[in-house]
A and B are shown apart, each in its own frame.
Chain A
């Protein structure tokens, strides 16, 4: 599709050059992270910067995992991030699919009001309710636990919206046929609806995983012990230290980024469809 018609070869070349230069500029900080993670600290600040490390200096990774005095427990923090992001993805998918299905396929009095109320929660920013949530967590005595880390994110309005939009076009005949065959409603949901929403489920699971992997604010409020910290808190700890080893900091950042970049490269279409979904939000 042509939006700007290549009027001449010159325009064409300029556009290619601009795109390539922008791509290089945008990617360079990521490349910097990985290369710096493989350099001794003194080489990181040596100008001109060597974009290809001379040797692989793996001490940074050892230091990122153990810390200078061997007291860091990065593997535990990584495990925590996997546990929290994984569990939140599962609950978000299940609850959103359940609710989205109910809203899409079951007419009941007040359905529109329910949908409207759920959509209204999109307007309540987490940042505005974090303090009351924190007080709730303290009164339930679940600060510094996995339950506490997960509870405020069990589902979200975007996920419900996504599942509802996806399921609204699901053929009713299939559902009715299953009912006539004597399937219960829950088994229809489990055996027919969930498997048939794979693209929406995958998109939602991946977006949820990514956003939990990124979550700083909530763990900052309720993870108190080192054992309950997640990756973002660990990186903050690195950055806060006065004489931090830059190479080790980038090694920690690289470790934090590798799982999510692998997801992105292998499943990029779900990331992209997740982003473009917003533009069809009106539907």
Chain B
């Protein structure tokens, strides 16, 4: 009798469980899984936006075209320059800033807030502010001239190929450094105080403690920050879009997302844009897989 009752309750619970998860599952089916499958399918067709002709099946031709296209390789190059150029400095500086903040007894909260504030602004607003700062007559030239001891030199922040790459990196670095600083602070706070005390008793200096205790124990946070910032950078769009829309050269900052957008919306080439989307998806899957692998093999740290 009791068992039957219990079984009845479990059955009822299971039904409610499904009831609660079903709306979201239906949502993901339509707005996540279907589109990615659809992108894969469309990437095998010659398909044009607004065209009345039915799409023609062309197999892997879109991919073949892309792999031979200098324009596509330029996008890969632009994306990777941006990603590496952004996430490595973010990794180093957010760790340093977090350590500095944690070493203070006062104003920790204030510094966290100050560093984090650009991250709450819209990326379009951030890009618009920097557009003016990087203007030939703007603050960036003034600051650079002051620091480098030059006079009246225009550093062409938004005009020369390398400088415009550097400028997009600068905007991103500025916007997200505080975000990752906070993640590092959480990581630092989770290291038991007793370990630092033990190191102190053993005679380790502040820097030795930092190098031999803090950094190794922070490995899970470092893995997390690298992958998160890398994935974030691979998806960058707004800054590059706004900069090119206001006249910066396209080629050096034609990142994959911008290329997908232009190929689909400006050139109406849906098939090719889909193939590019799938390649972006695969690149990001690879990095996510790398994260799992890295966090499995010694990513977990045992404090004991």
Q: Are B128 and A4 in contact, with the CB atoms below 8 A?
A: no
Q: How far is the CA of A96 from the CA of B138 in the complex (A)?
A: 45
Q: How far is the CA of A50 from the CA of B206 in the complex (A)?
A: 41
Q: Are A250 and B117 in contact, with the CB atoms below 8 A?
A: no
Enumerate chain A residues within 8 angstroms of B76, measured Cβ to Cβ. Answer: none
Is A154 engaged at the interface, CB distance under 8 Å to the other chain? yes
Q: Are B214 and A3 in contact, with the CB atoms below 8 A?
A: yes
> For residue A24, which residue of chain B has the nearest CB?
B114
Chain A residues 177-193 with CB under 8 Å of chain B are 185, 189
Q: Are A261 and B32 in contact, with the CB atoms below 8 A?
A: no
Enumerate chain A residues within 8 angstroms of B179, measured Cβ to Cβ. Answer: 275
Contact with B along A220-244 (1 / 0, CB 8 A): 1100000000011001101110000
Enumerate chain A residues within 8 angstroms of B144, measured Cβ to Cβ. Answer: none
Q: Are B120 and A106 in contact, with the CB atoms below 8 A?
A: no
Is B23 engaged at the interface, CB distance under 8 Å to the other chain? yes
> For residue A268, which residue of chain B has the nearest CB?
B113
Q: How far is the CA of A44 from the CA of B135 in the complex (A)?
A: 11
Q: Are A48 and B142 in contact, with the CB atoms below 8 A?
A: yes
Q: Are B114 and A23 in contact, with the CB atoms below 8 A?
A: yes
Q: Are A15 and B122 in contact, with the CB atoms below 8 A?
A: no
Q: How far is the CB of A249 from chain B (nearest CB, A)?
A: 6
Q: How far is the CB of A34 from chain B (nearest CB, A)?
A: 10
Is B280 engaged at the interface, CB distance under 8 Å to the other chain? yes
Chain A residues 93-119 with CB under 8 Å of chain B are 95-96, 98-99, 101-103, 105-109, 111, 114, 117-118
Q: Are A132 and B42 in contact, with the CB atoms below 8 A?
A: yes
Q: Are B32 and A129 in contact, with the CB atoms below 8 A?
A: yes
Interface of A is mostly: helix
Q: How far is the CA of A214 from the CA of B239 in the complex (A)?
A: 12
> Of B32, B42, B281, which one neighbours A121 at CB under 8 angstroms?
B32
Q: Are B206 and A279 in contact, with the CB atoms below 8 A?
A: no
Given contacts A114-B21, A189-B20, A279-B187, 10 further A-B contacts (CB under 8 A): A3-B102, A4-B206, A26-B174, A123-B288, A124-B35, A131-B260, A235-B125, A236-B242, A275-B179, A276-B182
Q: How far is the CA of A260 from the CA of B116 in the complex (A)?
A: 13
Chain A residues within 8 Å of B, Cβ to Cβ: 1-7, 11, 15-16, 18-19, 22-23, 26-27, 29-30, 32-33, 36, 44-45, 47-49, 95-96, 98-99, 101-103, 105-109, 111, 114, 117-118, 121, 123-136, 151-152, 154-155, 157, 160, 185, 189, 210, 213-214, 216-217, 220-221, 231-232, 235-236, 238-240, 246, 249-250, 253, 256-257, 260-261, 263-265, 268, 271-272, 275-276, 278-282
Enumerate chain B residues within 8 angstroms of A268, measured Cβ to Cβ. Answer: 113, 116
Is B57 engaged at the interface, CB distance under 8 Å to the other chain? no
Is B81 engaged at the interface, CB distance under 8 Å to the other chain? no
Q: How far is the CA of A30 from the CA of B124 in the complex (A)?
A: 13
> For residue B114, which residue of chain A has the nearest CB?
A23
Q: Are B24 and A214 in contact, with the CB atoms below 8 A?
A: no
Is B84 engaged at the interface, CB distance under 8 Å to the other chain? no
Enumerate chain A residues within 8 angstroms of B129, measured Cβ to Cβ. Answer: 29-30, 32-33, 250, 253
A109-B14, A127-B260 known; A279-B224 Cβ under 8 A: yes
> Of A16, A32, A129, A213, which one neighbours B39 at CB under 8 angstroms?
A129
Enumerate chain B residues within 8 angstroms of A256, measured Cβ to Cβ. Answer: 122, 124-125
Q: Are A107 and B206 in contact, with the CB atoms below 8 A?
A: no
A99-B23, A272-B112, A275-B116 known; A117-B28 Cβ under 8 A: yes
> Of B24, B182, B257, which one neighbours A155 at CB under 8 angstroms?
B24
Q: How far is the CA of A53 from the CA of B158 in the complex (A)?
A: 27
> Of B14, B128, B187, which one neighbours A238 at CB under 8 angstroms?
B128
Choose, from B61-69, B161-169, B269-277, the stretch at the interface: B269-277
> Of A26, A131, A276, which one neighbours B264 at CB under 8 angstroms?
A131
Q: Shortest 4 CB-CB distances between A and B: which pairs? A: A102-B20, A106-B17, A5-B206, A129-B35
Q: Are A131 and B128 in contact, with the CB atoms below 8 A?
A: no
Q: How far is the CB of A127 from chain B (nearest CB, A)?
A: 5
Q: Are A278 and B260 in contact, with the CB atoms below 8 A?
A: no
Enumerate chain B residues within 8 angstroms of A132, measured Cβ to Cβ. Answer: 34-36, 38-39, 42, 274
> Of B15, B135, B278, which one neighbours A128 at CB under 8 angstroms?
B278
> For residue B9, which residue of chain A has the nearest CB?
A179
Q: How far is the CB of A44 from chain B (nearest CB, A)?
A: 7
Enumerate chain B residues within 8 angstroms of A278, measured Cβ to Cβ. Answer: 183, 224, 228
A30-B121, A221-B265 known; A7-B36 Cβ under 8 A: no
A99-B20, A152-B31 known; A114-B25 Cβ under 8 A: yes
Enumerate chain B residues within 8 angstroms of A27, measured Cβ to Cβ. Answer: 114, 117
Enumerate chain B residues within 8 angstroms of A231, measured Cβ to Cβ. Answer: 122, 124
> For residue B264, which residue of chain A has the nearest CB?
A131
Q: Are A95 and B270 in contact, with the CB atoms below 8 A?
A: no
A19-B104, A123-B288 known; A240-B186 Cβ under 8 A: no
